[in-house]
Amino acid sequence: MPEPPLQKVLTDLFHDFEGDEIGGRHAIKGFSFQVWLAVLEALRAHRKPDDYAVVLEWQQDIALLNSSTAPTTVRFVQLKKNESTLKWTLPSLLVVGNAEDDDAAVDTQDDAVVTPATGKGKTSKKPKKPKPSILAKLYVHRRRFAGLTKAGLVFASDAPFEVPKAAGGTSMVSGIPLNTLPVPARNNIEKKIRAQLDVPAGETIDLDDFELLVTDCPVVDPHKFVAGECAEMQLATGLELSGKATLLAVLVIASYVNLRAASTRHAKNFNELLQRAVTRAEVTGYLAAANDQAVPTSDHVQSVIDRLNAEIAPPAVVRQMRREMARACVQISDRTTATPMIASRLKDVYTTKGEYPGVARLTDMFETWYRDLEKRSPPDFGLFRREYLYCLMAMIYEDANPTKHLPPVPADPQPENAK
């Protein structure tokens, strides 16, 4: 199924956001905790000028690549909430699952040793084996990409980790690299991973750049935390979005991460990963589009009024436009009034005339535009003041969001003498 265009995603989210008094709750409910963490990774990468790509594989593992065209490094983050014990222990991270619970997302051992550059491997089915443990399943990513680079691995959760201390006993930590654990603990991890993945004796189990981490993204209302991260990213990069645009932007990024996470198989190489990625260039486009979508309609009209004033338009026209602006901005989206239809007719005139390319001054354009509409003698034309229609023209000229959702212009009835 083809991916919907950006404008449709924006429009759907904008309608939900505008129509929900608690701020887009319907849209937010559709995204998992994993999706929000992927968006968080993208925004943190966006702080730096370097290229990147973020992938959410099968709604489960997040991959952060250092390029959207020719990646050389990849970092995998597996996110899992702990809803029972409120902590993780090494045994719980190394326990195997039941064979009957196996699913398509878990690579077989054949998948794990596929050469990334070709993506070719055995296709024969083997009898079901116990499902690999959390850490073993994450280690599969390192083996998949061993031919190109060592993949960084992170197991992230909302719960802390209970790990053994070298002097004896245990401690609770919010993050720890596995290669810093006591030697007996490391040996046990290596032994379990080797057995669960059938790693040959001659292949080293590498625990470098493999860590356990408590994520700072909250389980409850993660979108609010991610929106805050987006705001911090703006401070770091000089980007300026309105509050509404900031939340809309993270919703758009989440939408595309979610859309591209539909595959039920892990990618075998970087090219397959990139096909599912959200890239730096795309995130930049999403941020810009969200900002354009969330600009208040009154700001568009005010900018046109300021320009007309600078062109020495009649003071009475400028003054009356300021009086009509608030009412026009409200009624443009009210289908119970005649405003949306007259705005649609104005837009039709504007499009038919090719947006008046030969008229240099905005004052002259609006006067000509008004006269062209008057010549069509549309119904209800006499209900509106000229300056009210000028406010609608300003919205159309600035491509304000409400003008993208106008009703269609009905076909004019054929005059009797033309039959």
Length of the chain: 419
More confident residue, 89 or 329: 89
Q: Report how far residue 362's alpha carbon sits from residue 316's, in angstroms, rounded to the nearest whole number.
A: 16
**DSSP string computed for 200-262:** -TTS----TTEEEEE-SS-SSSHHHHHHHHHHHHHHHHT----HHHHHHHHHHHHHHHHHTT-
Contact 40, 275 (CB under 8 A): no
Task: Output the pLDDT for position 186.
Answer: 97
What is the reported pLDDT for 125? 61
Backbone φ/ψ region at 212: left (φ over 0), alpha (ψ -120 to 50), beta: beta
Average pLDDT over residues 398-412: 82
How confident is the model over 248-261, as pLDDT tens digits? Answer: 888 889 988 888 88
Count of CB atoms situated within 10 Å of the CB of 196: 22
How far, in Å, CA of 229 to CA of 128, rounded?
A: 43
More confident residue, 245 or 340: 340
Give the alpha-carbon dihedral of 93, 55, 34, 29, to 10 degrees. Answer: -160
Beta partners for 64?
54, 75
This prediction has a pTM of: 0.63
> How large is the average pLDDT for residues 330-349?
89
Residue 96's contacts (CB-CB under 8 Å, 6 or more residues apart) are 130, 131, 132, 133, 136, 196
**Overall average pLDDT of the 337-365 stretch:** 95
Highest mean pLDDT among 95-109, 197-211, 398-412: 197-211
> Higher confidence at residue 110 or residue 183?
183
Report which of residues 150 and 235 the model is more confident about.
Answer: 235
pLDDT tops 60 at residue 111: no
Whether the CB-CB separation of 408 and 345 falls below 8 Å is answered with no
pLDDT tens per residue across span 182-220 = 999 999 999 999 999 999 999 999 999 999 999 998 888
CA dist 64 and 79 (Å) reads 14
Nearest to residue 254, comparing CAs of 39, 27, 61? 39
For β-strands 88-89 and 161-164, DSSP reports them as: parallel
Q: What is the pLDDT of residue 25?
A: 36
Residue 173 has a pLDDT of 97
Is the pLDDT score of 141 beyond 70? yes
> Which residues does 170 contact at the CB level (< 8 Å), separation at least 6?
162, 163, 164
Across 119-128, average pLDDT: 57
Q: Which of 70, 129, 71 is nearest to 100 (CA)?
A: 129
Per-residue pLDDT band for 100 (boundaries 50, 70, 90) equals: very low
Tokens, residue 366? 């609006």
- Between 205 and 84, where is the model more confident? 205
Which of residues 241 and 322 earns the better pLDDT score? 322
Task: Using DSSP bridges, classify how beta strands 53-57 and 61-65 pair: parallel, antiparallel or unpaired.
Answer: antiparallel
Helix (H) or strand (E) holding 341: helix 339-352
pLDDT bin (cut points 50, 70, 90) of residue 113 is very low
Parse the chain into domains and list their residue ranges. 6-293, 297-404
Distance CA 273, CA 222 (A): 25
**Stretch 282-291: mean pLDDT:** 84
pLDDT of residue 287: 86
- Mean residue pLDDT across the chain: 82
Mean pLDDT (whole number) for 407-417: 64
